[in-house]
Amino acid sequence: MYYIDLAVTGVSFGCMYAMMAVGLTLVYGLLRILHVAHAAVFALGAYVTVVVANATGSVDAGFLAAIFITPLFGMAIYRMLYEPLLSYRPDVPMIASVGLLVLMQDAFRIVFGEQGVTFRNNTYGFTTFDVFGVTVNAVQIAIVVSAVIIFLGLHLFTTQTRIGVGWRATVSQPKIAASFGIDSIKVRYLNFAIGSALAAVAGGLVALLNNFVDPVIGYVVSYKALAIIVLGGLGSVRGTLIASLVLGLVESYGTIFIGRWLDRDAIAFLALIALLMIRPQGFVGTRAT
Amino acid sequence: MSAYEISLLSVIGINVILAVSLNMISGFCGQISLGHGAFYGAGAYAAALAMIGTGNILLALISAIVVGSLLGIVVGFASLRVRSDFLAVTTIGVNFLFTGFVRKQGWLGGEMGISGIPGSGLGADGNMVMILLFAAATIALSLYIGRSWMGFAFRAVGEDEDTAATLGINAAAYKLAAFGIGTALAGLAGGLYTFFTQFITADAFDFILSVMLMAMVVIGGIGSTWGVVVAAIGLTLLPEAIRFVNDYRLLVFGGLLVLVIRLAPGGFAALARAVATRMSRA
Chain-centroid distance of CA B7 in Å reads 19
Write out pLDDT tens, residues B191-239: 999 999 889 998 889 888 998 899 889 888 888 899 999 999 988 888 8
Mean pLDDT of B79-108: 84
Q: For residue A281, what pLDDT band results from cuts at 50, 70 and 90?
A: low
Name the least confident of A218-227, B3-12, B135-144: A218-227
How many Å apart are CA A267 and CA B251, to the nearest integer?
Answer: 29
* pLDDT at A8 exceeding the cut of 50: yes
**DSSP string across chain B:** --HHHHHHHHHHHHHHHHHHHHIIIIIIS----S-HHHHHHHHHHHHHHHHHHH--HHHHHHHHHHHHHHHHHHHHHHHHHS-HHHHHHHHHHHHHHHHHHHHT-GGGTGGG-B--PPP-SSHHHHHHHHHHHHHHHHHHHHHHHHHSHHHHHHHHHHH-HHHHHHTT--HHHHHHHHHHHHHHHHHHHHHHHHHHHS-B-GGGGSHHHHHHHHHHHHHH-TT-HHHHHHHHHHHHHHHHH-HHHHHTHHHHHHHHHHHHHHH-TTHHHHHHHHHHHHHHH-
A90 with B85: Cβ contact below 8 A: yes
pLDDT score, position A157: 86
Q: Which of residues 169-188 of B touch A (CB under 8 A)?
A: none
B89 within domain boundaries: yes
Q: For residue B282, what pLDDT band results from cuts at 50, 70 and 90?
A: low
pLDDT score, position A286: 47
Mean pLDDT of A132-141: 78
Nearest Cα of chain A lies from the Cα of B92 at a distance, in angstroms, of 8
- Chain mean pLDDT for chain A: 81
Q: Which residues of A touch B25 (CB under 8 A)?
A: none
pLDDT score, position A260: 67
Report in angstroms the alpha-carbon separations of B59 from A230, B47, B67, B195.
41, 8, 12, 13
For B152, counting Cβ atoms within 10 Å of its Cβ (0-12 exposed, 13-18 middle, 19+ buried), the class is: middle
* pLDDT at B132 exceeding the cut of 90: yes
Q: Greater confidence, A287 or A86? A: A86
Q: pTM (2 decimals)?
A: 0.85
B111 within domain boundaries: yes
> Domain residues for B176?
3-205
* Helix (H), strand (E) at residue A144: helix A138-160
Report in angstroms the alpha-carbon separations of A280 from A243, A286, B18, B162, B267.
15, 9, 29, 18, 31
Q: Does B107 touch chain A (CB under 8 A)?
A: no
- Chain mean pLDDT for chain B: 88
DSSP state of A213: B
| Whether A227 contacts A14, CB under 8 Å | no
B264 within domain boundaries: no
How many Å apart are CA B228 and CA B251, to the nearest integer?
Answer: 20
Strand partners, A130: A135
pLDDT score, position A119: 78
Chain B interface, best mutation among A78, A89, A106, A289, by max B CB count within 10 A: A106
| Whether B103 contacts B110, CB under 8 Å | yes
B62 within domain boundaries: yes
Q: For residue B125, what pLDDT band results from cuts at 50, 70 and 90?
A: confident
Instruction: Respond yes or no on whether ipTM tops 0.90.
Output: no
Q: For residue A34, what pLDDT band results from cuts at 50, 70 and 90?
A: confident
A280 with B97: Cβ contact below 8 A: no
Strand partners, A128: A137
| Whether A52 contacts A66, CB under 8 Å | yes
Q: Does B105 touch chain A (CB under 8 A)?
A: yes
Q: Among partner residues B103, B215, B258, which is closest to A81 by beta-carbon distance?
A: B258
B101 with A273: Cβ contact below 8 A: no
Q: For residue B15, what pLDDT band results from cuts at 50, 70 and 90?
A: very high
pLDDT score, position A125: 67
pLDDT score, position B160: 84
B84 with A89: Cβ contact below 8 A: yes
Q: Which residues of B touch A91 (CB under 8 A)?
A: 32, 84-85, 87-88
* pLDDT at B188 exceeding the cut of 70: yes
Neighbours of A272 (CB within 10 A): 25
Write out pLDDT tens, residues B61-71: 999 999 999 99
| Whether B15 contacts B236, CB under 8 Å | yes
pLDDT score, position A287: 44
Total count of domains within chain B: 1
B224 within domain boundaries: no
B235 within domain boundaries: no
Q: Does B262 touch chain A (CB under 8 A)?
A: yes
Mean pLDDT of B30-45: 93
A106 with B265: Cβ contact below 8 A: no
* pLDDT at B146 exceeding the cut of 70: yes
Mean pLDDT of B104-124: 81
B21 within domain boundaries: yes
B265 within domain boundaries: no
Name the least confident of A55-64, B131-140, B217-226: A55-64
A223 with B93: Cβ contact below 8 A: yes
Nearest Cα of chain B lies from the Cα of A149 at a distance, in angstroms, of 31
Nearest Cα of chain B lies from the Cα of A103 at a distance, in angstroms, of 4
